[in-house]
Amino acid sequence: MYLGFVDMNAGFLIIIAAMIIGMIARSKVNGTYRKFSKVTTGRGLSGAVVARQILDNYGLANIDIEEISGHLTDHYDSRSSTLRLSQNVYSGTSIASVGVAAHEAGHAVQDAMGYGPFQIRQKLVPVANLGSQMLFPLIIGGLFFHITALYYIGAALYGAALLFQLVTLPVEFDASRRAVVYLERSGSVTAGELQGVRKVLGAAAMTYVAAALASLGQMIWLLLAGRRK
């Protein structure tokens, strides 16, 4: 009983620690983005132009680039082969805009080259969404009806969401690596500006690390809760 209590607390501590790290990471990424969104690159290339150059460099002329609303809503949609950039990133010529656009273009390159982790993550999306949506209903159902099996069903579904978070890490780090390599080789930014790009993308990466830790903590708590029933 005592060991179970300690284990449960350990799961809670992981979740709480991840939440704190997540808040710090989000604050860091917003602060870093704001800082470097005010610094224009020497060549004055917009995010959309840099993204187009990267895509064309890899022979991906078939991928469209669209401007969308919102703040940091940038993403690559593999279903429609479309790179969507937020307004500030699309037309912005700052270090932050160029870095984010190059990163998202990196995802399109991953897709085209059949990068393993990216392909796995795409296949996990439907199951991960289901696991996230069904987690709490299954927990409540297990408590109300005293059915331990519901915990494990929820844990199994949530396991897919956890796997999605874990696979996301190499996908995001690799996209940032590709962005930095291209920007350096192409001369789109100076050496000093490239350091700013690294800081922007590094801060963003920490949010994914925090999300993975939070999912891991929740998974541990779920398994321990089910064991105690």
Nearest alpha-carbon partner for 135 in 160, 157, 162, 163: 157
Question: Residue 81 is encoded by which pair of tokens?
Answer: 């082969």
Please name the amino acid found at residue 169: L
CA 97/CA 122 separation, integer angstroms: 25
Q: 66 has which bridge partners?
A: 84
* Sign for the pseudo-dihedral over CA of 130, 209, 185, 35: positive
Asked if 57 and 182 touch (Cβ cutoff 8 Å), the reply is yes
DSSP string, 183-217: HHHHTSS-HHHHHHHHHHHHHHHHHHHHHHHHHHH
Question: Residue 188 is encoded by which pair of tokens?
Answer: 């789109």
Q: 162 has which bridge partners?
A: none
Q: Which residues have a Cβ under 8 Å from the Cβ of 34 and sit 6 or more positions away? A: none
Q: Which residues are catalytic?
A: 104
- Which H or E run includes 82? strand 82-86
Report the Cα–Cα distance between both ends of the chain, in Å, rounded: 12
